Structure 1
Amino acid sequence: MRIGVLTGGSDCPGLNAGIRALVRKGVQEHGDSFVGFRDGWLGVLGDNTVPLDIPAVRGTLPRGGTILGSSRTDPVAVPDGPDRIRRTLDAHRLDALVVFGGINTLARAAVLADRYGIPCVGVPKTIDNDIAGTDYTIGFDTAVNVATEAIDRLHTTAESHKRVLVVEVMGRSTGWIAVHAGLAGGANCVLIPERPFDLDEVCAHVTSRFRATYSPIVVVADSAQPRGGGVELEGLSGVGEWLGNAIEHRTGHEARTTVLGHIQRGGTPSPQDRWLATRFGLHAVDAAHDGAWGSMVALRGTDIVRTPLAAAVAAPKCVDAARYAENEIFFG
């Protein structure tokens, strides 16, 4: 087979490990050849390619980012987009297109496969872990490790100065990073978008922690909101800074905010992400050879399975009440 490969949406650690495995298995076991598209769907629309063979992926296992580049281009919204994609695939005599993407990139792959008959196989990657049908996505574990290490480090400076430390993490519309890193890092309060928070309760947790002679750590997902909304972020870095200011004003305890931002997406992938991305790449080749168009490789327990792309991206996978309750045991 001749297979095209792209990475779309936000970068994350582990993408190169997945590309490497895809190419290695395809070439070595099936005699496949590969064409890489630069900058996601933009590269397919513009026929911007890069050679993708075993020498091209050698040494990429521990590298962060993506050797193919990425973009947030929506190929379905572009005039004549699906037809342009088909013409590009035909020009390179490609039998399949493997798409590494988050919920938006994979949603476009689902539309192209199901509505336009373009032979797409999806691979889920996003630090947000918000894609349904898979237990975990490429990049999530590394982001949790980065956030957990930051929380560990902030505990000591918080205690040295008797301060409240607010840590803002990413997550888009879900709180997976906050819940995992908050529990692993011993946070005293974790706030997520799935559960609008009561500012008075947060301040009560903070005050309770100081009575126990410990300085509290509050982890907040960047899209979390208080009950009733009404957060004014003009002139602020985000909800974390707003929350730190509000806690300091209400409790009288000095507060500082750390926004982890893009460092959660950068750098070397964790061993877990290398393992997961490698297995996804290996199984994506099999899906292509089986003609499983419109499917996505996914992790269920320790098994790699296939699930329909359209179902996987129909709605974000959210943190459920039972999972959040595990964190609540340690609040205050």
Structure 2
Amino acid sequence: MKRQFILEDGTVFKGKGFGSVKASFGEVVFTTGMTGYQETLTDPSFYGQIVTFTYPLIGNYGINWNDYESSLPFVRGVVVKEAAEFPSNWRSTLSLDEFLKEKGIPGIAGIDTRKLTRKIRAYGTLRGAICAEDVDTESVVARLKGLPALSDAVAQVSTKTRYEMKGPGKHIVLIDFGAKKSILTELTKRNCRVTVMPYHATAADILSLQPDGVMLSNGPGNPKDVKGAVQMVKGLIGKVPLFGICLGHQLFALACGADTFKLKFGHRGANHPVQDIRTGKTVITSQNHGYAVDEKSLAGTGLMVTERALNDGTVEGLAHTQYPAFTVQYHPEASPGPHDSNPLFDQFLNMIDQHQKEDQQYAKTH
């Protein structure tokens, strides 16, 4: 089945369709991970996007029931050089083609993904469409140029209701802006009791649960679209220890008075080097974001830069100089990806311990 992949600048790629036969429109991004396509496809942070895999062979180990990062995939389409037709892995239950058909997501193979990636790197993120071979290119381009920017991405991926994961340890409230399952896994692995709250929860709602700490999760889209969440985070700063990941990092910065901006083509993949500027140590990180914190806007916010991307120098970590709160732009739960930054979950729990000790000492002396 021949199909077309059309970009808003009029570029046309012809290839072989797989997955769903429906047409799909979305923001075209690329990810550089060599493995972990299932985790990528089910990561809510990819909501509304057509994902290009730079690794040439995708689907070779199939799809299994254990590696989902959310119950549903949120990508709009999949672009690959080659899609494996016959996966080989003892855990595989579906092929990539079968998975995409089941979820109603179109894919296109046989594309020069290197050329496409170079175009995105040169000109920035573009909108694109996976469609039939015989569609009118000019009408598709006109529709792409008229597509409105996504503004409700977080609302589409966040949990609708509060729920809880039992545990004997610290009580952590996780604000779900599009949280990956692996964040829950890391917290429950450390015996935490986790209450997951929807993105529109208020600071009063959260503080009424008397949590030991609050995590601000990853999620899709522009952080400035989630204005209510910025106000919520403002109401938490200084009242409870905070740890933010990816979108949570950006929302925390906005809540402190800093600014964010859209990157030319974003950071997506499992091989991004980040340096802790306090220690000089470098870790390899998993990333998936299209926005970043503007370092020039940090003056007077009470925030200090703790980590920086070595590829482009953008802010990758923040800490508050007065309150127990820190954030990272990358994914320490790293599914898929390296585990270099996994100890950040322990750092968060240690920060909670220290905060509670200081509160107890203060209570004894006043």
Return the structure number with greater helix share: 1
The structure, 1 or 2, with the larger RCO (C-alpha pairs under 8 Å, 6+ apart) is 1
Larger strand percent? 2
Q: Shared fold by TM > 0.5?
A: no
The TM-score normalised by the length of structure 2 is 0.28
